[in-house]
Structure 1
Amino acid sequence: MRYFIILCIAALACSCQKDELMDYSGGDGIAFYLGEYEIDSVSYSFAFSPAPAAKDTIYLKMRVVGGAKDYPRTIAVKAGAGTTARQNVDFILPQHTLPAGALTVDYPVIVINSPEMADSEFRLVAEVAESKDFTPGAVGQEIGGSYNLSKMLVKITGRIVEPTYWPDVESAFGTFSAVKFRFMIQVTGLSDFSYEALGTSGIYNLPVRLRNALLEHEAANGPLIDENGNRVTF
C-alpha cells in the first residue's frame, strides 16, 4: 500500500508539471525570411537610379514566429557585427510597426547617398533586435522551403555593381558590365531588369529595343566599349 501511495503522489506531481508546461506561453518572436531560392543579402547602388537620389528605401521581409494580435506591435532592428556602414550617415534603421492582425511585414531600411558612396561599398548587417513586443524569432527552414533568418546583409554603394539577379537574365541581356547597365538605364529609364520587374514579355522584348538603340548610338558615335575593353552587345 505504501508503494502504491508513493506512485500515486509521483504520478500526480508529473501531471502537474506537464500541465504547467502545456499552459506556458512564451512571447512572440520575429525574424527575417526568404523564399527557397532567395539569398541572404541585398545589393543596392545609387548609380541604378535614373535621377540622382539623396536617399532611398530597401525593404526586408519579416514574419512573426508566433500568433497574430488584434493590436499593432513594434519591431526593432539594429546594426550587427560586421557592419562597415555608418548609422545616420549611410543608413537609418527606423522603429517600425507590424499592423494589427498581420503576421508578415516589409521592414524599411533607409539608405543614404553619402559622398563616400561614389567609390566605396558599405556593408550593413541588419539584425533583429528585441522590442517591447518581440524577441528575435527562431531561425531555420520552414514549411514550403522558406527560411527564417536573424540577420540580413545589405550592401550599399554609389558604383554600378552587378545585381544579384543578373545570372537569371544573362541569356536575355548578355554579359554584365557597368557601361552596358548604364546604357540600359539611359535608354529605358528603368533600373531593375529582373524577371520580377519586367515579366516574360519584357525579358523577350526589351533586348530588341536595346539593340535598336545601340545601332543608333553606334551610327553616331562608333562602338560602345565597356570598362573591360569589350564591345557592348545585346
Structure 2
Amino acid sequence: MKTIFHIHKIQFLSLILLLIMASCKKEELMYEDKAGIYIDKEKFVGVRDSTSYSFAEKANTVMLDTIYIPVKISGNMSPVDRIVPLKVDENLTTALAGTHYQILETKIKANEITGRVPILIKRTADLKAKQVRLYVKIATSAEFPLQIMNTKTNNTFNGEPVGTYVPGYLIKLSDQLLKPDTWDASGSWFKLFFGTYSATKYKFIIDITGRVVWGPRARDSAESPTAAQMYIYLAKLVSALYEYEKVNGPMIDETGNQVTFPKL
C-alpha cells in the first residue's frame, strides 16, 4: 500500500505540473498574438530620449528638414501593412502642429518589423527668439493594441540590461546656436578636437571654419567632416585664436573661463 500511495502521489504532482505548464503556454500564446510597437531608441546616437535641433546650424536657405523616428514591433509580423500610431503628447508639447512640424503617416510594411516615421520640421521666425518642444509617443491602436511602457538597452552587464528607455521622445526645436547633444558623447570629435563646450567657443568655431552642419558627434553622418578636415579646422582655430589674443588678450567665454583648444 505504501508503494502504491507513493506512485499515486507522483502521478498527482505530475498532473499539477502539466496543468501549470499548459496555463503558462496559453498565456504566452495570448501575449504573442497581441501586437505592440515602440520607438527603437537603440537606433539613436548619443542621447537616446531627446534631441536638440537648431536651424542656426543649417544654411540660411534651409527652411524645412526631416527628423526620422525609428520604430519596431513586438509580436508577430503581419501579412498586411499597419499604420504606426505615433502621436503628440499635448501636455508636454509647445510646438504648433502645421506651423512648426508635421508628422507624416507611416506604415510598417507587410512582413517587416521595423520602420521610420518622418517628422517634417519647419523654420519659422519665432524660433530665433525661443525654443519649442515636441514630445511624441506611441499610442495603442486596433492594429497595435499592446501598450509597451519601457524598453531595455541591448547592452548588458552581468546578463542584465544596463538601462531602461522611457516610451516617449522629445524634440527641442529652435533657430538659435545651441550645444550639440552629442558634444560630450563617447567618441565625439567635438570633444576630441574642440575640448570643453561653451557658446562663445562654438560661435568662434563656426565663424572660423564656416561650417554650420556637423552631424552627430561630428563624425556619424554623410554630412559630417572627415578626420583630415577636423585636423585642418583645429589648426585654423588655434591660429585664429592666437591672432585674436595678440590684439585682445585671452578670449573669455560666457562662463568666465578662457577659450582654449586641445593639443593633439
Shorter-chain TM-score: which interval?
A: 0.7 to 0.9
Of 31-40 and 149-158, more deviation after overlay is shown by: 31-40
CA RMSD after TM alignment: 3.7
1:69 equivalent to 2:78? Answer yes
Deviation for aligned residue 1:111: 1.5
Structure number with higher strand proportion: 1
1:46 equivalent to 2:55? Answer yes
Of 107-116 and 130-139, more deviation after overlay is shown by: 130-139
The structure 2 residue matched to 1:21, chosen from 18, 27, 43, is 27
For residue 170 of structure 1, give the secondary structure of its aligned residue in structure 2: helix
Residues 105 and 207 of structure 1: CA distance in aligned 2, closer, same or farther (over 3 Å): farther
Of 53-62 and 64-73, more deviation after overlay is shown by: 64-73
TM value normalised by structure 1: 0.74
Write the letter of the residue equivalent to 1:67: N
Residues 184 and 73 of structure 1: CA distance in aligned 2, closer, same or farther (over 3 Å): farther
For residue 47 of structure 1, give the secondary structure of its aligned residue in structure 2: helix
Distance 1:211 1:198 in 2: 18
1:139 equivalent to 2:150? Answer yes
Distance 2:36 2:105 in 1: 16
Q: Tell me if the contact between 1:184 and 1:190 (Cα under 8 Å) persists in the aligned partners.
A: no
Deviation for aligned residue 1:204: 4.1
Write the letter of the residue equivalent to 1:40: D
Write the letter of the residue equivalent to 2:27: L
Residue of structure 1 in register with 2:181 after alignment: 164
Q: Provide structure 2 residue ranges, at least 5 long, that are not aligned to the other structure.
A: 1-7, 157-162
Can you list the C-alpha shifts for 1:132-162, whole angstroms capped at 9, x where unaligned? 4324435231543575542011101111111
Q: Provide structure 1 residue ranges, at least 5 long, that are not aligned to the other structure.
A: none
Deviation for aligned residue 1:202: 4.7
Deviation for aligned residue 1:205: 4.4
Residue of structure 1 in register with 2:94 after alignment: 84
Q: Tell me if the contact between 1:65 and 1:138 (Cα under 8 Å) persists in the aligned partners.
A: no
Residues 204 and 28 of structure 1: CA distance in aligned 2, closer, same or farther (over 3 Å): farther
Write the letter of the residue equivalent to 1:159: Q
Of 14-23 and 163-172, more deviation after overlay is shown by: 14-23
Residue of structure 1 in register with 2:172 after alignment: 155
Residue of structure 1 in register with 2:197 after alignment: 176
Q: For residues 29-44 of structure 1, what are the structure 2 equivalents within 5 Å?
A: 29-35=36-42, 38-44=47-53
Alignment coverage as a number of residue pairs: 225
TM value normalised by structure 2: 0.67
Q: Tell me if the contact between 1:122 and 1:156 (Cα under 8 Å) persists in the aligned partners.
A: yes
Residues 202 and 132 of structure 1: CA distance in aligned 2, closer, same or farther (over 3 Å): farther
Q: Which has the higher contact order (CA 8 A, sep 6+)?
A: 1
Distance 1:182 1:222 in 2: 17
Residue of structure 2 in register with 1:191 after alignment: 213
